[in-house]
A and B are shown apart, each in its own frame.
Chain A
Amino acid sequence: MAHDVVTGAATRRLDADVLAIDAAQETARIAANMVRIVGRELRRRGVVVAISGGVDSAVCAALAVRAFGPARVFGLMLPEHESSPHSLSRARLVASQLGIAHAVEDLGPALEALGCYRRRDEAIRGVFPDYGPDWKCKIAIAGGRDGTFNYFKLVVQSPAGATREARMPVREYLQVVAATNFKQRMRKMVEYYHADRLHYAVVGTPNRLEYDQGFFVKNGDGSADLKPIAHLYKTQVYALARHLDIPEEIRGAAPSTDTYSLPQGQDEFYFALPWHQMDIALWALDHGVDAEELAARLEIPAKHASAIYADIAAKRSAARYLHSPPLLVESAPEART
């Protein structure tokens, strides 16, 4: 094995099978660890999994059933006013295939009462003053790929279907994100309600890309008692999905944030590349593969590959705050024994 001359890190070739896993073995390993974590470390009797209709939460729910059996897994569907109706139907499909108890909790009224939609729309009107209740919106990431800093564009669509976009000033951007984060935090609150009443633990469903790059809301979807697939690249999550017989309808759906009223892919919102390329780029960076080799594999210019490495590092840096637990001025180790 070669070593990077600068960092000393072991380097590996970017072979086609670097993300290959033995899905059966990995399923058994994760299930055994879930039992150990929930039973012995957390001392809970089962798990709550919020099922979004996407592949990550479907795999987590299926892994939980492998670990605990269907009687100790509780599924939750948490739609709100702007959720895609397809999400709910896919989530029901997962729950019914797994044979688990589940509930649908409509978060729309609670989010409305908190001012989630109103506060977001108020910030949007700071950029597009004629934005109204029948309009739709989303945020799209820009930069990163081409060497510029990441910045965010606001995209709005009028009821007549006309689309406009603009770079978001920082104050409006922060308010839109802060208001939208109510959605993830409200979901987590309801997950913990059910976990507390059942004496269960809450499963977080991020994959490695999301966990590493900070694609989650602190104290929202970032909060959980265990995260069973946070070590797996998205490619590997799909391998597990096939092994666990997750329905094709879910495996074939494009990853979506399902957070804004306009359709929005995860790569459009946050990642510099589609997930299958991001997986390779993240693996390559962490295994000392130089930018030229990554560029050849992804069939992109070398300078784009370098920019993507820089973008991954920048997002990791931003994710430090998200991963950080509450910090103490002075340690109190006795409290954690």
Chain B
Amino acid sequence: MQDVKATVRRFLLDTVVMAGDVEIGDETSFMEAHILDSTGFAELIAFIEEEFGLDVGDEEMLPQNFDSLAGIERYVARKRAAAAA
């Protein structure tokens, strides 16, 4: 099983902050830590859709789903479970 948090962390470090020495904890708020702004979230959501093969609905674009690595992991797990059901 693909490690969702590690994949997204790598995306953020390589593409967004472009530095390996930034600490992004599992519960770090991307907004509060100034890692992502609205365009950054749009990029992140596009990455998640492509990388994990899922469609993010307009109503799902919530901070609790995408503002932290842990939130993203829970969201992806829910989407996969719903798709498998």
Contacts and interface: CB of A to CB of B under 8 A. Distances in A.
Nearest to B47: A170
Interface stretch (A19-27, A46-54, A144-152): A144-152
A317 B34 contact: yes
A143 B37 CA distance: 14
A169 B39 CA distance: 11
Interface residues of B, number: 16
A6 to B, nearest CB: 14
A147 B43 contact: no
B25 interface: no
Interface of B: 31, 34, 37-39, 41-43, 46, 58-63, 66
B65 to A, nearest CB: 9
Given A170-B43, A174-B39, A317-B37, A151 B62 contact: no
Interface of A: 142-143, 147-151, 167, 169-171, 173-174, 310, 313-315, 317-318, 320-321
A321 B39 CA distance: 12
Contacts of B41: 149
A314 B39 contact: no
B58 A142 contact: yes
Nearest to B43: A170
Given A147-B63, A149-B63, A170-B43, A314 B58 contact: no
Contacts of A171: 46
Given A314-B38, A317-B37, A151 B61 contact: yes
B38 A169 contact: no
B61 A148 contact: yes
B58 A173 contact: no
Contact of B66 (A149, A167, A174, A310): A149
Contact of B58 (A148, A169, A317): A148
